[in-house]
Chains A and B, each alone.
Chain A
C-alpha cells in the first residue's frame, strides 16, 4: 500500500509540473529543459527552512517564493533568446545548476544531500495535497484559452516583434506566467522533499527536466488528462518495474529512455514545418 501511494504521489507531482510546463509551452511557445532547476530550488528551499525548526508550512511558503523566483528567472530569458536557443540555454542552466548544487556543500550538503527533512504529514496527506495543486494547474491551463491574457500569450508565442508592435508588454506576460509556473513547480519540489525526507543533486538531474518536458507534450496534446496519462507511463512504469527487483538507478535510466522515446515521437507529430505554417 505504501509503495502504491508513493507511486501515485510521484505521478501527481509530475502531472502538476507537466501541466503547468505544458501551459507555458502552449501559451508562449517556450520549451524549457530546465524544469528540474525550479523543482530543485523549491525542494532545497523547503529542506533548508523546514530543517531550521521554523516548521514545514513555512518551508512550503519558502519553496513557493524561491520556486516562483527561479521560474520567473527562467521564463524571462525568453526576452533575449527564443525557439531552440531558449531550449539550449535552459539546458545549459540545468547543467550549471547541478554543478552549483553539488559544489555548494555548506548550503546544499553537496553530493551527500540533505537528510532528515521534516514532513507536514504522511504520504496520504501529501497525496491529498497534490489534488489542489493539479487542480490549480488545470485552471491555469484552461485560463490560457479564450482570455485576453491567453490571446497576448498567443501573440507572444508567434513573434516577440509582433507583440511589441501591438503594444503588448511581453515582459509582464513572461513575468506573470513564469511566477505561476515557478510557484507550482517549487511547491511540487517541496512536496517531493517532504515525501522522500532526503534530497540530493541526482534527484534534479537533466533526466527529470526531460521527463517533465515529455509530460508537457502529453498535456499539449490531450490537456490535463493527457498529463495524467503521460505521468502514468513515464513515472508509473519505471516505479512499477522496481517491484521486479530492478535497482532505483536502473529504473531512473529506464524512465529516461521512455521520456526520450516520447520526445522523439512528439517531434514527428508537432514539429513539421508545414504544420507550423
Chain B
C-alpha cells in the first residue's frame, strides 16, 4: 500500500513539474528554469515551516507544504511581472534558458550560503506513519500525495475554466489565441503563477519524502522536462500521464536496482527523450 501510494505521489509530482515546464514553454517559448527555482523555494520554505512549527501530523505537514506551494505561486506571479517589466518577450529562447539558469544559480547559491549544504528533512514526521485501510503509510508519503492530489485537481478544474482555456489555447496555437483576443502579457503573468504553483507542489512533495537539498530544484525541472516532452502532444495536460509513467518507472527502478541508481537511470532516460525529440521535431509539435 505504502509503495503504491509512493508511486502515485511520485508520478503526480513529476506530472506537476511537467505541467509547470509546459506552462512556461507556452508563455515564454523557451525552457524557463524558474520551475526549478519555484520547486526549491517551496521545498525549503515547507521544510523550514514544518521544523519551526514542530510538525508531527499529516495535517501539520500539509499546512507547511501548502505555505511553500503558495509562496512558489506568488513567486511565479512576480517572475511573470518581472518578465513583462524587463521585456522577456524580446529575449530569444536560448536567452531565456541562460538568464533563468543564472537566476537559479543565484537561488541555489543563496540557499547554500544561508542554510549550508546537504539534506534537510521535516524532522518531526521522519519515521512517522498513520494507519490507512488496515495498513501503515508514512506521513511524508500521505502528505505528499495529498498536496500533489489537491494541486492536480485544482489544475484540472482551472484548466477547464475561461482563463485555463486561454492558456491551453495559447499553448496549442499562440497566433490563433491572440487573434481571438487572448492578452499575451496578462497570460504570461498568469502562466508563470500557475507554473509556480505546480512546480511548488512538485518540490514540496519531493521534500516530504526525500528531504530538500539546494539541488532539488534542478532535479524537479529535469523530471518536468522529461514529462513535458515524452508525448508529442500540444495538449497542455499531456505531461500528467507522462509524469505518472515516469514516476512508476522511478519506483520500479528503485526496486530492481539500488535506490542510488534510480536517479541516474531516470535522468539518462530524460536525456534520451530530449535527443529523441531533437530540435527539428519541436517545430512541428511541442512549441
On A, residues with C-beta under 8 Å from B are 31, 33, 77, 80-89, 91-93, 95-96, 99-100, 102-103, 206-207, 210, 214, 249-250, 252-268, 270-274, 276
| The 8 residue pairs across chains A and B that have the minimum distance between CB atoms | A271-B95, A263-B102, A260-B105, A99-B264, A253-B112, A267-B99, A257-B109, A264-B102
Residue in B86, B99, B111, B113 whose CB lies within 8 Å of A254: B113
On B, residues with C-beta under 8 Å from A are 30-31, 86, 90-99, 101-113, 116-117, 214-215, 218-219, 222, 225, 258, 260-261, 263-264, 267-268, 270-271, 274-275, 277-279, 282
Residue in B105, B215, B267 whose CB lies within 8 Å of A210: B105
* B105–A249 CB distance below 8 A: no
* B94–A31 CB distance below 8 A: yes
What is the CB-to-nearest-CB distance from B236 to chain A, in angstroms, rounded to a whole number?
Answer: 20
* A83–B93 CB distance below 8 A: yes
What is the CB-to-nearest-CB distance from B277 to chain A, in angstroms, rounded to a whole number?
Answer: 8
When C-beta atoms are compared, the residue in chain B nearest to A102 turns out to be: B260
Number of A-B residue pairs having CB atoms within 8 Å of each other in the complex: 156
* B274–A81 CB distance below 8 A: yes
On chain A, the residues within 8 Å of B218 by CB distance are 91, 95, 206
When C-beta atoms are compared, the residue in chain A nearest to B108 turns out to be: A256
* B260–A267 CB distance below 8 A: no
Given contacts A88-B97, A92-B274, A272-B90, contact A267 B105 (CB under 8 A): no
- Give bound CA distance, A262 to B103, whole Å: 10
12 CB < 8 A contacts A-B:
A81-B275, A84-B30, A84-B96, A85-B277, A99-B267, A103-B258, A250-B116, A256-B106, A260-B107, A267-B96, A273-B92, A276-B92
Binding site of B, secondary structure by majority: helix, strand, loop or mixed? helix
* B109–A263 CB distance below 8 A: no
Given contacts A253-B113, A256-B108, A256-B109, contact A99 B102 (CB under 8 A): no
Given contacts A84-B31, A88-B97, A271-B95, contact A96 B264 (CB under 8 A): yes
What is the CB-to-nearest-CB distance from A258 to chain B, in angstroms, rounded to a whole number?
Answer: 8
On chain B, the residues within 8 Å of A257 by CB distance are 105-106, 109-110, 113
On chain B, the residues within 8 Å of A263 by CB distance are 98-99, 101-102, 105
